């Protein structure tokens, strides 16, 4: 995302000049950070912590309505620990960034329902939820759920059913209109539609799909942690909401349902797709932990004690997960790989020369960002060349890629070994036209740790 943002800063157009399946809002967030603080790792980590602080502040405000500040703080703390326990690879993940927009929408709808249908909170709710769809389009499901909640609340109180829902919808369309307007002005809207309709929806959506239940067994401490989080959510649903907090509980329950769909629809089984589910369970946590009235119903009164025990187990599990993440050897390994790749590439690339990287997230683009080098084609990754290869749309992408290499004549082509979905250098053999280009015009100049650099042969 930093690399795309850097390209945009130098005149590139998303989708037209950078083939990617992400929403344009993600690029704009990274572009703003690069403008404000630069591309350094420290700036990105500080941004992540600032975003986490803001999200936890919203969680505290959301739970404070119950009248128990300690319970509200525990919900916010639980989410902070959940995020920090993921380690460096979850810093600034899009699903994490999305949580602030989702919770802002839920808070605005709740305030409106609690204030007799006030419209101003719905404006802010709509703005937040619409902005969220520019980070991840799945947020539109929760946006729809919030409009239904507003309409139901109005019907229950004999107010106009359509007025509030229309405000949430209208305000929510503002940010997408601005973002897509910017994209159209830059000349990238047609390419965006093409990428989504010709590749993302029909092809990428099914690549690497795994059964939802199996994914939880992949994560270290995943089964124990999500058993505890699920128990917290269940206890919160069982305990009655305090007077005046029913809307917040209902919206959090809707959020849990959305969070599960958010994870299941994407179907990749990646841990960071669970952020919205974790967020709304943490928003529910105060309902399990808040002190009951002076005379709570007997079957319900002990549940707070059970919830406290479950939260303690969850906190200990998150602590163990966080300690484990601190010792992740891949961090140092990737840092060394990026430094070595940048060092090996620098003498091979003349001023204003280009380099093509065949990679996903193993550090190839990071090295280009460090060196300030553009690619001759719009392809940031290479995984889309190696699935559904009999499909005419994939074959068209392959032809475009090879034609771009032949026309652009990059000074070097970097092939990362451990790319997603089909690792190994042998994957190139499934693209004969590409191997012909490499054999004819390039020579293997560097055999690095997890990468190969093919340098362009000098003309006789």
Long-range contacts of 148-155 (CB under 8 A, 24+ apart): 149/109, 149/113, 149/247, 149/250, 149/251, 149/254, 150/109, 150/112, 150/113, 150/122, 153/112, 153/113, 153/117, 153/247, 154/117
Mean pLDDT confidence for 409-428: 94
CA distance 216 to 352: 46
CA distance 17 to 290: 52
Q: What is the pLDDT of residue 307?
A: 92
pLDDT band with cut points at 50, 70 and 90 for residue 324? confident
Closest C-alpha to 393, from 204, 189, 188, 190: 204
Q: Is pLDDT of 298 > 50? A: no
Question: What is the reported pTM?
Answer: 0.94
For the CA atoms of 394, 140, 174, 96, the dihedral, rounded to the nearest 10 degrees, stands at -80
> Which comes out higher in pLDDT, residue 39 or 403?
403
Q: Using alpha carbons, list the distances in angstroms from residue 411 to 118, 427, 428, 443.
A: 61, 22, 19, 11
Q: Is pLDDT of 295 > 60? A: no
Q: What is the pLDDT of residue 304?
A: 87
The DSSP bridge partners found for residue 454 are: 413, 444
Sequence-distant (≥ 6) Cβ neighbours of residue 20 within 8 angstroms: 4, 14, 195, 380, 381
Mean pLDDT confidence for 285-302: 71
pLDDT in tens, 348-399: 999 999 999 999 989 999 999 999 999 999 999 999 999 999 999 999 999 9
Mean pLDDT confidence for 155-180: 95
> Which comes out higher in pLDDT, residue 214 or 168?
168
Q: What is the pLDDT of residue 296?
A: 53
Q: Is pLDDT of 421 > 80? A: yes
Q: Could you identify the residue written with the tokens 């949430």?
A: 168
């Amino acid at each position: 995302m930093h690399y795309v943002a850097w390209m945009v800063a130098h005149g590139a157009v998303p989708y037209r000049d950078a083939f990617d399946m992400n929403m344009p809002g993600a690029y704009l967030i990274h572009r703003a950070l690069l403008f404000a603080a630069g591309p350094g790792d420290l700036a990105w980590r500080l941004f992540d912590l600032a975003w986490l602080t803001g999200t936890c502040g919203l969680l505290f405000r959301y739970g404070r309505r119950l009248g128990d500040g300690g319970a509200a703080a525990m919900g916010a703390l639980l989410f902070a620990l959940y995020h920090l326990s993921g380690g460096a690879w979850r810093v600034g993940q899009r699903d994490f960034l999305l949580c602030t927009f989702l919770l802002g929408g839920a808070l605005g709808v709740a305030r409106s329902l609690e204030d007799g249908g006030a419209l101003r909170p719905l404006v802010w709710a709509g703005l937040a939820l619409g902005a969220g769809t520019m980070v991840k389009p799945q947020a539109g499901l929760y946006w729809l759920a919030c409009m239904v909640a507003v309409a139901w609340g109005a019907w229950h109180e004999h107010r106009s059913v359509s007025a509030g829902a229309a405000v949430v919808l209208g305000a929510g369309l503002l940010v997408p209109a601005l973002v897509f307007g910017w994209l159209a002005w830059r000349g990238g809207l047609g390419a965006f539609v093409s990428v989504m309709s010709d590749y993302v929806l029909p092809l990428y959506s099914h690549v690497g799909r795994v059964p939802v239940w199996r994914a939880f067994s992949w994560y270290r401490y995943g089964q124990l942690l999500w058993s505890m989080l699920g128990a917290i959510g269940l206890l919160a649903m069982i305990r009655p909401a305090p007077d005046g907090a029913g809307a917040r509980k209902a919206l959090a329950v809707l959020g849990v349902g959305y969070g599960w769909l958010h994870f299941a629809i994407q179907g990749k089984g990646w841990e960071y797709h669970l952020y919205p589910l974790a967020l709304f369970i943490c928003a529910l946590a105060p309902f399990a932990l808040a002190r009951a009235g002076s005379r709570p119903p007997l079957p319900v009164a002990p549940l707070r004690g059970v919830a406290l025990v479950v939260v303690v187990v969850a906190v200990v599990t998150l602590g163990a997960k966080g300690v484990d993440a601190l010792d992740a050897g891949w961090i140092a390994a990737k840092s060394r790989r990026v430094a070595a790749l940048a060092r090996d590439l620098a003498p091979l690339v003349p001023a204003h020369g280009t380099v093509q990287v065949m990679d996903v997230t193993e550090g190839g683009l990071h090295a280009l960002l460090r060196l300030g080098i553009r690619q001759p084609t719009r392809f940031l990754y290479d995984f889309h060349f190696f699935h559904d290869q009999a499909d005419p749309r994939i074959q068209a992408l392959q032809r475009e890629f090879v034609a771009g290499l032949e026309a652009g004549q990059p000074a070097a082509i970097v092939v990362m070994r451990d790319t997603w979905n089909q690792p190994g250098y042998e994957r190139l053999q499934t693209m004969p036209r590409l191997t012909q280009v490499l054999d004819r015009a390039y020579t293997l100049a560097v055999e690095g740790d997890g990468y190969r650099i093919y340098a362009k042969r000098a003309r006789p």
